[in-house]
Amino acid sequence: MSSRPTHSQLSLAAFAAPQSPRTMRTLRKIQSHQVLSTSSSAFSSQAVHASVPRKASGSEGLAPPIDFNTTHRTRPRRGRSNSDAGAQDSGGSQPAKRPARKTGSGFGVRKSALESLLRDGLQNGNVVEGLKELRYLVLSTGVEADGDGMSGYRIYLWLVLLEVPPLPTDEYLSLIHRGRSPAYAKIRNDTFRTLATDPLFKRRVTEASLIRLLNATAWKIHDAKAQTKSLGPSPRRRARQSLVDTPPSIAEETLYTAGEDMSEAAMYVQGMNVLCAPFLYAARSEVEAFALFHYFVTRECPGYIRGAMDGVHKGLRLVDRCLEIVEPKLAAYLFSKGMHAELYAFPSVLTLCACTPPLPEVLHLWDFLFAYGPHLNILCIVAQLIRMRDTILDSPSPNKILRSFPPLDAKDIIALTVLIVRKIPDDLYAELIDHAK
């Protein structure tokens, strides 16, 4: 028998002490692991089995590789979307325009259960049960969207799932009116090439909005760094040293507060432009996109934006370790060729796979990640590698294949990730949850 604590034991231990914000977030992610790894769940027994057939040898076998060359769903194209600054139509031939599909909003259109829950709110006022139902609906039915990935309620779903509080518009405007931040030159060096080959993104989001959002985020982080420094040298170290004789419940809260220390955070690192792109694309306003993006990089993955980007490097090592557990033959072959995740998966870890088109599939993948934890992006990358398994094993030079991943298919990747979760040991899963902190 293993001495490793079970997920249920971890959950009971978390409930034993007063809950701090960080404890509650970690607990929700552990509970998400329980949901995803429960074979009796409706999604696992129906949708997963239908999308990713398992080996005939038994329930513990990993699903066989999915052929990523299979035909993807045909998506209707729509006319030019509105952007914040009215982007001009580019010259040359334009793709044929097709009407967008209605997705649950407006008169005479039946709303989905997910949209109804978001619009009508909770019937019994039980927030915990409401969030569970919301996550289950994301996993089982998905967010309805048109061919361009646009949904009238997705951005509100993200705000609820990430628990982002409302942001006054004036606060965002005050950051804009401060002008160029110290990171402005670095931002301008990247924004013009953000998803440069994606016509959907370029049609809806202007470079000006990217610059404003990233510059405002840089100012916000700049202010947080200045406030941290005003408290004295090494506040994080002092906080940790003060925990020696501190009761556990208070210590947890102190660590959470110390985690808000932004003294080591970079105002901008290369790749943040791509990470913020889906937020701007899906949002109905820049203020919503800013609130989500700033919260995400400073609370969900602050390790990704520290100067050394240590959270990203931890994530890359976890890709190798998880692949070695789930698909040892594929991992051994890649390692024998000197191909570790550091060489091919850096953009996918940093941007939560937003660097891999098509953008509508990125949005569907993010619905899943925000519902059950962004740390699952590591396993989504492993799932993509498994889908490429046969091609990689047949190639004498896998580095050529891994220079660019095949187009995302969110439904298949999510289904395979749900299966992979069951194979990840509890201690390793705990590292997945904390690697970006």
CATH of the domain at 402: 1.10.472.80
Buried b (16+ CB within 10 A) or exposed e, 160-185: bbbebeebeeeebeebeeeeebebbe
Last residue of a domain, one of 263, 298, 333: 298
Q: Count of domains in the chain?
A: 2
Picking from 101, 154, 91, the residue whose alpha carbon sits closest to that of residue 283 is 154
Report the alpha-carbon angle 363-278-283, nearest 5.
Answer: 95
Last residue of a domain, one of 298, 317, 332: 298
Residue 77 has pLDDT above 90, yes or no: no
Cα–Cα distance for residue pair 401/166, rounded to 1 Å: 43
pLDDT of residue 266: 87
288 and 314 assigned to the same domain? no
168 and 285 assigned to the same domain? yes
Please indicate, yes or no, if residue 225 is contained in any of the structural domains.
Answer: yes
Residue 265 phi/psi, 5-degree rounding, is -75, 145
pLDDT in tens, 238-252: 444 444 444 443 333
Please indicate, yes or no, if residue 116 is contained in any of the structural domains.
Answer: no
Buried b (16+ CB within 10 A) or exposed e, 307-339: eebebbbbbbebbbbbbeebbeebbebbeebeb
168 and 287 assigned to the same domain? yes
Tokens representing 395 are 């190639």
Please indicate, yes or no, if residue 128 is contained in any of the structural domains.
Answer: no
Picking from 282, 240, 287, 288, the residue whose alpha carbon sits closest to that of residue 261 is 240
Tokens representing 99 are 């009407």
Domain span at residue 252 reads 164-298
Q: Specify the higher pLDDT residue, 7 or 388.
A: 388
Give the pLDDT band of residue 29 (cuts 50, 70, 90): low
Cα–Cα distance for residue pair 431/150, rounded to 1 Å: 34
| For range 410-437, the mean pLDDT | 96
Please indicate, yes or no, if residue 387 is contained in any of the structural domains.
Answer: yes
252 and 344 assigned to the same domain? no
252 and 313 assigned to the same domain? no
Give the pLDDT band of residue 123 (cuts 50, 70, 90): confident
pLDDT in tens, 164-209: 999 999 999 999 999 999 999 999 999 999 999 999 999 999 999 9
Please indicate, yes or no, if residue 159 is contained in any of the structural domains.
Answer: no
Last residue of a domain, one of 255, 275, 298: 298
Give the pLDDT band of residue 56 (cuts 50, 70, 90): very low
Q: Specify the higher pLDDT residue, 289 or 257.
A: 289
Residue 60 has pLDDT above 90, yes or no: no
Contacts of 310 (CB under 8 A, 6+ apart): 303
Please indicate, yes or no, if residue 235 is contained in any of the structural domains.
Answer: yes
pTM higher than 0.75, yes or no? no
Average pLDDT taken over every residue of the chain: 77
Residue 91 has pLDDT above 90, yes or no: no
Please indicate, yes or no, if residue 285 is contained in any of the structural domains.
Answer: yes
346 and 267 assigned to the same domain? no
222 and 266 assigned to the same domain? yes
pLDDT of residue 359: 97
Please indicate, yes or no, if residue 152 is contained in any of the structural domains.
Answer: no
342 and 275 assigned to the same domain? no
280 and 364 assigned to the same domain? no
| For range 356-371, the mean pLDDT | 97
Residue type for 60, please?
Answer: E
275 and 315 assigned to the same domain? no
Picking from 322, 332, 320, 333, the residue whose alpha carbon sits closest to that of residue 395 is 333
